[in-house]
């Protein structure tokens, strides 16, 4: 028997509570309807990510031997959901609800799934542009969908671009924070060209002897993250007040993770960086004050340093698919 909307929302709320305490905290600032839609979209992203990596709520990676089959399952269930058919999975059924209510498209979902496909192919970024392309697929494209959920129309391309930028900033923070965990799973999202320039052999970047070089790479990644974050703050200022507050809260929380890793230098991976409950509250209150003001002029200057934008990523994706 199909689940009701309320049941799907309850499932999605439980998913975000377990899957991302940071985003769960920020989501409480949305109005009820937007909050529920954000939860529904998050639940699909979490379920698809867990399927892709054979993991549970973003935990330890499982056996990757059947990655292609799991990717096919993601595509099949997503297609069923967008067609309005029951999938047997509450997270995918929830996607059907939010897609219908907010105009999310198959192309938007495909952009996200393309990131899972890269991991399924045991892909590694060769260049800085490749690294950012990955960030676009797994997080920037989600930012665009989240902006749609918050009511940004298709015609407002610039605000959608900046929503994409926020996702990229978040993913860059994830990359620098999770270097140790990714290495343990046989993955590395730092560009091969960066490693070659530092004279580091593939798979050796977490060796203690290369820690100084790694810190320099993290600094470069964090500079990019700050540029994308600055761009996102400009876009957030155009959202309704409660959406603006929620997004600026999440921006502060995730941004602080990257800053903690960068500040820790060679000790950045002694333990996993996180924000405490007290720190989260500080970012929420700070975002509340910031949401009442225009973004500082420095944001426009910092945003100019973005190496690539959403249109660049879309063009690269078209060429890759050709």
Judgement on whether residues 172 and 232 belong to the same structural domain of the protein? yes
Can you tell me the distance from the alpha carbon of 112 to that of 102, in angstroms, rounded to the nearest whole number?
Answer: 17
Using CA atoms, how far apart are residues 277 and 257, in angstroms rounded to an integer? 13
Residues 226 and 311 in one domain: yes
Residue 87 lies in a domain: yes
**Residue 162 and residue 67 in one domain:** no
Within-domain flag for 266: yes
> What token pair was written down for 268?
């950045």
Question: Whole-prediction pTM value?
Answer: 0.94
pLDDT at residue 57, as a whole number: 66
Query: pLDDT tens track of the chain, all 322 residues?
Result: 678 999 999 999 999 999 888 888 889 999 999 999 999 999 999 999 999 988 876 556 666 778 899 999 999 999 999 999 999 999 999 999 999 999 999 999 999 999 999 998 989 999 999 999 999 999 999 999 999 999 999 999 999 999 999 999 999 999 999 999 999 888 999 999 999 999 999 889 999 999 999 999 999 999 999 999 999 999 999 999 999 999 999 999 989 999 999 999 999 998 888 888 899 899 999 999 999 999 999 999 999 999 999 999 999 999 988 8
The predicted pLDDT at position 295 comes to 94
Q: How many helices (H) and strands (E) does the chain have?
A: 16, 0
For residue 111, tell me if it sits in a domain. Answer: no
293: left (phi over 0), alpha (psi -120 to 50) or beta: beta
Q: How far is CA 49 from CA 46, 57, 66, 179, 264, in A?
A: 5, 9, 14, 18, 29
CB neighbours of 137 closer than 8 A, spacing ≥ 6? 111, 112, 114, 115, 118, 313, 317
What is the rounded distance in angstroms from the CA atom of residue 226 to the CA atom of residue 93? 35
Query: Count of CB atoms within 10 A of residue 154's CB?
Result: 9
Chosen domain end from 79, 106, 133: 106
Which two tokens mark 298? Answer: 């420095």
Can you give the residue range of the structural domain that contains 29? 1-106
Where among 76, 106, 136 does a domain terminate?
106
**Tokens for 231?**
């761009």
Same domain, 61 and 157: no
Q: Transcribe 107-131 into DSSP letters.
A: HHHHHHHHHHHHHHTT----SHHHH
Together in a domain, 44 and 71: yes
Domain annotation covers residue 119? no
Token reading at 275: 């924000």
The pair phi, psi for residue 307, each rounded to 5°, is -65, -40
Query: Is residue 114 one of the residues assigned to a domain?
Result: no
* 264 and 139 assigned to the same domain: yes
318 and 172 both lie in a single domain: yes
Here the CATH number for the domain that contains residue 31 is 1.10.600.10
Same domain, 92 and 132: no
Structure tokens at 47: 């379920």
Q: How far is CA 167 from the centre of its chain?
A: 5
- Give the DSSP letter of residue 137: I
- Same domain for 158 and 283, yes or no, is yes
Q: How far apart are the two ends of the chain, measured CA to CA in Å?
A: 42
Q: Which of 112, 108, 75, 95 is nearest to 11 (CA)?
A: 95
Please give the tally of structural domains in the chain.
Answer: 2
Q: Is the same domain home to 157 and 299?
A: yes
Q: Please tell me the predicted confidence (pLDDT) of residue 39.
A: 98
Quick check: is 113 in a domain? no
DSSP assignment, residue 139?
I
């Amino acid at each position: 028997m199909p689940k009701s909307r309320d049941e799907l929302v309850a499932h999605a709320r439980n998913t975000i509570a377990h899957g991302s305490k940071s985003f769960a905290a920020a989501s409480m600032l949305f109005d009820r309807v937007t909050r529920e839609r954000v939860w529904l979209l998050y639940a699909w992203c979490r379920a698809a990510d867990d399927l892709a990596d054979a993991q549970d709520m973003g935990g330890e990676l499982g056996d990757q031997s059947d990655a292609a089959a799991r990717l096919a399952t993601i595509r099949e269930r997503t297609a069923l959901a967008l067609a309005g058919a029951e999938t047997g999975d509450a997270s995918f059924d929830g996607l059907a609800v939010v897609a219908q209510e907010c105009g999310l498209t198959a192309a938007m979902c495909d952009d996200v799934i393309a990131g899972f496909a890269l991991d399924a192919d045991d892909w590694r970024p060769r260049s800085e542009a490749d690294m950012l392309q990955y960030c676009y697929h797994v997080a920037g494209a989600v930012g665009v969908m989240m902006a749609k959920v918050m009511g940004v129309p298709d015609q407002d391309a610039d605000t959608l671009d900046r929503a994409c930028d926020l996702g990229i900033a978040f993913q860059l923070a994830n990359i620098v924070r999770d270097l140790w965990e990714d290495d343990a799973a046989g993955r590395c999202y730092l560009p091969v060209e960066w490693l070659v320039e530092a004279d580091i052999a593939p798979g050796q970047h977490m060796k203690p002897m290369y820690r100084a070089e790694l810190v320099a790479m993290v600094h470069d990644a964090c500079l990019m993250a700050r540029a994308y974050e600055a761009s996102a703050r400009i876009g957030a200022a155009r959202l309704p007040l409660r959406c603006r507050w929620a997004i600026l809260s999440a921006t502060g929380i995730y941004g602080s993770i990257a800053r903690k890793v960068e500040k820790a230098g060679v000790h950045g991976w002694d333990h996993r960086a996180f924000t405490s409950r007290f720190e989260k509250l500080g970012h929420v209150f700070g975002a509340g004050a910031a949401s009442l003001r225009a973004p500082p002029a420095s944001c426009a200057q910092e945003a100019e340093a973005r190496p690539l934008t959403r249109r660049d990523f879309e063009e690269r994706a078209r060429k890759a698919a050709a």
